[in-house]
């Protein structure tokens, strides 16, 4: 029987030393380690990254919310050149800087086991968006990634265009987060992309961007399943085009729209989608209600799912460990 150990640890800095020793042990059964928001800084990141170079058991490491900074990012980039066991690495809101991002993209050119990476909200101040160029060059070469989370990166249209060049040549990724470049992203979708999940929350794709995406979603061969366009300054025409895309796309099942301009025609369209069963309450973040004969939408606290790859892996492992009937 396979034993999967999942540990959620709330620690102070000195305990990181103990955990680094634990993860270094070759016979440990630890598979998933969650150290999010534990005030781990550069030295702790160095210890953890160093211990993982010789580790052959840990599959998932989540460090989001720890300010490991530039050097911490470089330490984990060096680890990924050696470790060929880790499958999920979460470094969101870790104050990664440009050199760390470039180092990670370089390491991912040769790493063959990592499936999911989250580097959201890095501290990137260069207008040239060099990191996007490096990630674009990495994407056609990498053969293992299926999830790449790039939320809150401040991507401009130019940066999205650069990243799209790599996306067009990558045939594995199913989850990417981008900003503003909806036109470039729609071209990727039209090219029979394997993208299954797109998060464009908190950007400004507006009506034209929503319409570009709607057209691409309806193209034959689109496999997009989940889309979030929350808080994108989209009004009636853009949201109605997305509602139409949901009607005409057999693949798209989840859509999240809260934070846009939800005028009555939009409310009526989503009420119809829910009433007909084309959309279920669990697959969106809005719920219709009526007052004095007018339809409005209330917010449901449902969000785009993250870590789909590792969730799928855990479910498969649980199924394989269950006794045969």
Q: What is the pLDDT of residues 230-276, one digit of tens each?
A: 999 999 999 999 999 999 998 999 999 999 999 999 999 999 999 99
- As a whole number of angstroms, the distance between CA 140 and CA 128 comes to 21
Measure CA 162 to chain center: 19
Range of the domain at 16: 5-321
Judge contact between 298 and 287, C-beta under 8 A: yes
The CATH number given to whatever domain includes residue 17 is 3.80.10.10
Chain segment 112-159, per-residue pLDDT in tens: 999 999 998 899 887 778 999 999 999 999 989 888 888 777 777 788
Judge contact between 88 and 310, C-beta under 8 A: yes
* E strands, the chain, in order: 5-8, 30-34, 60-62, 88-90, 116-118, 147-149, 175-177, 197-199, 226-228, 254-256, 286-291, 294-299
Q: Specify the number of domains making up the chain.
A: 1
């Amino acid at each position: 029987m396979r034993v999967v150990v999942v540990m959620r640890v709330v620690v102070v800095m000195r305990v990181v030393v103990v955990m680094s020793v634990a993860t270094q042990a070759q016979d440990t059964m630890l598979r998933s380690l969650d150290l999010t928001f534990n005030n781990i800084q550069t030295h702790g990141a160095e210890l953890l990254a160093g211990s993982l170079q010789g580790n052959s058991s840990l599959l998932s490491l989540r460090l989001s919310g720890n300010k490991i900074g530039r050097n911490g990012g470089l330490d984990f980039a060096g680890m990924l050149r050696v470790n060929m066991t880790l499958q999920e690495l979460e470094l969101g809101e870790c104050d990664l800087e440009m050199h760390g991002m470039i180092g990670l993209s370089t390491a991912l050119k040769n790493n063959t086991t990592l499936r999911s990476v989250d580097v959201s909200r890095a501290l990137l101040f260069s207008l040239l968006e060099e990191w996007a160029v490096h990630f674009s060059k990495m994407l056609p070469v990498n053969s293992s990634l299926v999830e790449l989370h790039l939320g809150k990166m401040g991507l401009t249209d130019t940066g999205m265009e650069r990243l799209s060049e790599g996306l067009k040549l990558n045939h594995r990724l199913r989850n990417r987060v981008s900003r503003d470049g909806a036109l470039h992203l729609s071209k990727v979708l039209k090219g029979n992309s394997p993208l299954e999940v797109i998060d464009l929350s908190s950007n400004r794709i507006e009506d034209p961007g929503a319409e570009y995406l709607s057209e691409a979603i309806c193209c034959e061969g689109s496999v997009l399943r989940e889309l979030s366009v929350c808080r994108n300054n989209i009004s009636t025409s853009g949201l109605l085009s997305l509602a139409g895309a949901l009607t005409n796309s057999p693949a798209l099942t989840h859509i999240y729209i809260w934070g846009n301009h939800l005028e009555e025609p939009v409310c009526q369209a989503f009420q119809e989608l829910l009433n007909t069963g084309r959309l279920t309450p669990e697959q969106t973040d809005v719920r219709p209600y009526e007052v004095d004969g007018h339809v409005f939408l209330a917010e449901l606290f449902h969000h785009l799912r993250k870590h789909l790859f590792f969730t799928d892996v855990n479910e498969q492992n649980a199924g394989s460990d269950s006794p045969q009937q």
